[in-house]
Structure 1
Amino acid sequence: MPLSRTFIFIAIFCMQSLAALLQNGFMATVLGREWVQSQGLPAGDMIMACLAASRFCLHGIAILNNFLAFAMLWTVKSYLTILWDFINTANFWFTTWLAIFYCVKISSFSHPIFFWIKWRISRSVPRLLLGSLIIGGLSAISSATGNTIALQMAACENYTVSYKAIAFYVYYFRCHVMLMWVIPFFLFLLSIILLMFSLYRHLEQMRYHRPRTHDYSTQAHTMALKTLTFFLIFYTSHVLLLAVSVAHVVNIHDSWHWAWEVITYMGISLHSTILILSNSKMRKALKIKFPDLCIARS
């Protein structure tokens, strides 16, 4: 029974990853083609293009990583994990910049610093994206260094040294996670909190001062919050998955490992779906590529 349950979760994970590859490949292709043809993109679409490309690679590497570990090809997996670390870290930062971009553009705070950030954010997007790739590279180098040191120490025949190697790797990995992944998580969470506070202030102003029939600002706040809240689910499940992985509670052949993988990457798939449906360029491209599907929906 546990074996059949494992294969069920593996099948769900594969179908989910295939759907995410198609989604993010579609987004990256549409925005990338426009980027090349027009030699530029709006700042928000530029972040979305990089985010879609990173998620496409992340899902592909996640599939390879899991099946290499399942087949016990640990040497190949260790090299692929370094690439996964680079793309995963860059993906975290791309998502954080998208959240900050939404927060800055949609929120209605009147502080001078906020106005300065709103004026500078669009111009700074290319440098922020490049900085995300640099941070991802540093994360991969740090992860590779920690793995190499731990493996060399673990190869020692002395049991005490091997035990210290495992303890070193766990401690090193936790510090690595805190530095590279938790920081963008808190920035992402701060953006959501600021958007919620801005929406609350806006609703209070609408209630007491100038009610309108069509409130586009409220719609923008709500859409941004829906988009960011879904990805917050991915962040939370991913942190839990990392905690389980570090504690070595779940084995790669255990059904619970694949269940956690489904939960984690389901958040990315849902967030990508919302990004496609909430972007006018993506909806237009869907109508052109899949007119029958759009007619059926309508």
Structure 2
Amino acid sequence: MKLELIITRSVILVITGVTGTFINSIIVLLNFRFWRDVTTSKSYNRLLFVIGLTNTILQAHFIFDAILKIYSLYLLNENLLLCVITFGFTLVDVNIWNTTWLSLLCCVRLVNSSHCFYLKIKAKFFSSLPLLIVGSVLFAVTINLPLFWTTKLHIPTNTTDSPASGYFISLDAYYIIFSSLFGFSVPFCMTCVSIGFSISTLLGHIRRMEGSDSHLTSAQLQGHYRAVKTMVIRVFLDFLFFLIIVLGVSVPLIFNSTTYSVLWLAVLMYPTSQAFILVFGNPKLKSAVCGLMKC
């Protein structure tokens, strides 16, 4: 790899690594404190704590992966690459499932219904949320473990035909379809449905309040609109990241070093982007983070 490219990627790695780790660590610490506060919602803060912790681990994983990739250390040990790929895909799937649980949590808190079946589901969801989080982690590990045996590393003998990373990665097509279906498509659809219900509830509430004589301030309206915008941005980010992963394993694009660098940067920014969405979509987190940054 050229020296200029190594320097550029190292600078990008430092900036994204420091920013993402700092913001996500603050989210973890603040939600652990909110978690212990009896005046706050424990389920919501526990889930934000898990999401922040997963993002922090994912950010550290991306930093470790980028260091090995920049200095071509993967070429020394193929098993190291296989372990990093398996662990990385597992963390991404866990992150996507955590997003699903967060959207479902917001949905059951926003949607009002007096139907007995809905009330039973709502009560069951709150009590089963810790088990759902642990279950999604075990499920992600199970469906991604075969990556260690199905992924192959190919080092081209002709250096002129080498991709930007210096090697080719071949994944089993049937496994990719299976993993994409249960690791992304299913939770993504659940997230979209729950966000759709949440948005329709919020917009209906806004229309009712605007059409009534109640004293709804502009700050309250802005809070509702911010919640809608945060949900839409969050689901768009997951879809964009999945698209980037698909493009990243495309062989024709890997030959283009510029395209590869852009995709690599987008992957590094994923945990950081999630952290900013969580912070600016939560007034309590936003005020706490701003207060810490001022200090």
Match of 1:134 among 120, 126, 138: 138
Distance 1:171 1:58 in 2: 26
2:246 paired residue number: 243
Deviation of 1:114 after TM superposition, in Å, equals 3.5
Moved more, 50-59 or 230-239: 230-239
1:271 maps to 2:274: yes
2:71 matched residue in structure 1 = 71
Q: SS at 2:54's partner residue?
A: helix
TM-score after normalising by structure 1: 0.77
**Among candidates 172, 181, 185, match of residue 188 of structure 2:** 185
* Cα deviation, residue 210, structure 1: 5.0
- The CA deviation at 1:135 is 1.4
Partner of 1:124: 128
User: Could you tell me which residue of structure 1 aligns to residue 148 of structure 2?
Assistant: 144
Structure 2-normalised TM-score?
0.78
Deviations 1:50-86 (A, max 9, x none): 1011111111111222332333333222211221122
SS at match of 1:250: helix
1:101 corresponding residue in structure 2: 105
Equivalent residue letter for 2:197: L
User: C-alpha offsets along residues 220-242 of structure 1, whole Å, 9 cap, x if unaligned?
Assistant: 54333232222223212212212
Residues 179-225 of structure 1, C-alpha deviations (whole Å, 9 max, x = no match): 21221111112222212211232233234455432388755543332
Amino acid in the other structure paired with 2:31: L
Letter of the aligned partner of 2:252 in structure 1? V
Q: For residues 1-298 of structure 1, what are the structure 2 equivalents within 5 Å?
A: 4=4, 7-8=7-8, 11-32=11-32, 42-74=42-74, 75=78, 76-109=80-113, 111-147=115-151, 169-214=172-217, 221-251=224-254, 254-277=257-280, 278-280=282-284, 283-284=287-288, 287=291, 289-290=292-293, 293=294
What is the CA-CA distance between 1:42 and the residue it aligns to?
A: 0.4
The question of whether the paired residues in 1 share the 8 Å contact of 2:234 and 2:277 is answered with no
Uncovered stretches (5+) of structure 2, i.e. residues with no partner: 155-168
Residue in 1 aligned with 2:160? none
Aligned length: 275
Q: Secondary structure at the match of 1:212?
A: coil
In structure 2, the partner of 1:159 is none
What is the percent sequence identity of the aligned residues? 18
Gaps of 5+ in 1: 155-165
* Cα distance, 1:251–1:93 mapped onto 2, change above 3 Å: same
- What root-mean-square deviation, in Å, do the aligned CA atoms of Structure 1 and Structure 2 show? 3.4
Superimposed CA distance per residue, residues 78-103 of structure 1 (whole angstroms, 9 cap, x where no aligned partner): 21122112221111111111111112
